[in-house]
Amino acid sequence: MAVGPGKLPEFYPVRGCRLGIASAGIKKPGRKDLVVLELSEGSQVAGIFTRNRFCAAPVILTRQHMAQAASRYLLINTGNANAGTGEKGLNDARACCEALAREAGVDAARVLPFSTGVIGEPLPVDKIVKGIPEALRNLSENHWAEAASGIMTTDTRPKGATRRLELNGKTVTISGISKGAGMIRPNMATMLGFIATDADVEPELLDSLASELGEKSFNRITIDGDTSTNDACMLIATGTSEAETITRNSSSLAAFRAALEEVFLELAHAIVRDGEGATKFVTIDVSQAASQQEALDVAYTVAHSPLVKTALFASDPNWGRILAAVGRSGIDDLDVNRLAIWLGDVCLVRDGGRAGDYSEERGQAVMDQEEITIRIELGRGPVNETVWTCDFSHDYVTINAEYRT
């Protein structure tokens, strides 16, 4: 169950980035569950990671390796998160990096590990090590779609985005994949994202773009309010295009940033559309806030309300649940007579109560749609923020009740 068609695009290959996929049998025999990304020499890598204090061993090791050496390989496994595994988990992640490094003839610090799946279980190192040669044998610039499937866990469909643009007469490509359907909450919402471009980007600018665009995309989605232990989003620039290096002063930066932002947003939205059991894609726009934090507090209070989310699943225009969530969002001096709440193009609340022209029939017409916008005008200041979420269905409970079985 997911919202929208969700068909993968025809990926543009990114020069300098090859992808290989293998079946290691980590959780289910025969399933593609191991992915390797090979980056050309000279590639730049930036990343943003979970803020969960129980961050997983691969997150810790990836950060260490990025500080030690230029990255050449990314190693991704599904079926096991290698989180909550202590020192053994770190040693297991190192062993996998060392195995790939031996096969590829590079230093282990040039391998970045990523894991997703069940928390608290030891990583099946032997299975991963045995699967690495298969992944290396089928490395190809054209395996984006296969890799998108290879990083899935409870996802019902693979997720990808791709763009090609001209910068001063030279072609630049951006392609990316993501995974995630549950345990999704900002501060890196369980998700993984890998976005690569053949543009040559100044390293400091690449870091800045990863943080800035990640903040406005992956850090603005929520399925259930749970911040995962394993979240990571990596932005890779191989520098293999013929376009000039992109710096903060480049005339081409605006066009490149716009295309990159589209990819980030498309991948982030795909996670919400495929939220566990999701039947609705919900945009929550908060405007006229006094600060960014205030706007986000209101948006997330609505997005995380089980009563709002179950009403969305039932297509029930129970607008009082939205009003109550806004009222408990932590704005102590909120003047309810100045705010307005909209459901699509239907005003629900105005002047402290139900809008005079509201009707149940008009509210129902909006709630019957797959894609819904809740707009909240606070009447307090100039700040706007947007968060994306989904509903809670019976299937969400079933999926998570049976996750380990």
Listed in sequence order, the residues at least 6 apart from 178 whose beta carbon sits closer than 8 Å to its beta carbon are 159, 160, 191, 192, 193, 194, 218, 233, 267, 268, 270, 271
The whole-number pLDDT of residue 189 equals 39
The whole-number pLDDT of residue 230 equals 57
Contact in structure between 294 and 383 (CB atoms under 8 Å): yes
Determine the CATH number of domain 281-401.
3.10.20.340
Between helices 203-216 and 253-273, what is the axis angle to 10°? Answer: 40
Q: Catalytic: which of 50, 116, 190, 227? A: 190
Separation of alpha carbons 207 and 185, rounded Å: 22
Say if strands 346-350 and 340-343 run parallel, antiparallel, or are unpaired.
antiparallel
Cα R_g (the chain), whole angstroms: 22
Separation of alpha carbons 302 and 343, rounded Å: 13
Separation of alpha carbons 59 and 40, rounded Å: 22
Between helices 306-313 and 292-304, what is the axis angle to 10°? Answer: 60
Q: Pull the structure tokens for residue 200.
A: 């040559």
The whole-number pLDDT of residue 183 equals 53
The whole-number pLDDT of residue 188 equals 42
Q: Pull the structure tokens for residue 162.
A: 């791709």
- Reported as a single tens digit per residue, the pLDDT across 345-388 is 999 999 999 999 999 999 999 999 999 999 999 999 999 999 99
Q: Where are the domains of the chain?
A: 17-273, 281-401
Active site residue 373: no
Contact in structure between 299 and 286 (CB atoms under 8 Å): yes
Architecture of domain 17-273: 4-Layer Sandwich (3.60)
Separation of alpha carbons 83 and 388, rounded Å: 27
Contact in structure between 365 and 254 (CB atoms under 8 Å): no
Contact in structure between 14 and 196 (CB atoms under 8 Å): yes
DSSP for 154-200 reads: S-SS-EEEEEEEEETTEEEEEEEEEE-SSS--SS----EEEEEE-S-
Amino acid at 71: S
Which parts of the chain register pLDDT below 70?
Answer: 1, 181-190, 224-230, 399-400, 402-405
- Reported as a single tens digit per residue, the pLDDT across 120-159 is 999 999 999 999 999 999 999 999 999 999 999 878 899 9
Put simply, whether the predicted model's pTM sits higher than 0.85 gets the answer: yes
Separation of alpha carbons 218 and 191, rounded Å: 9
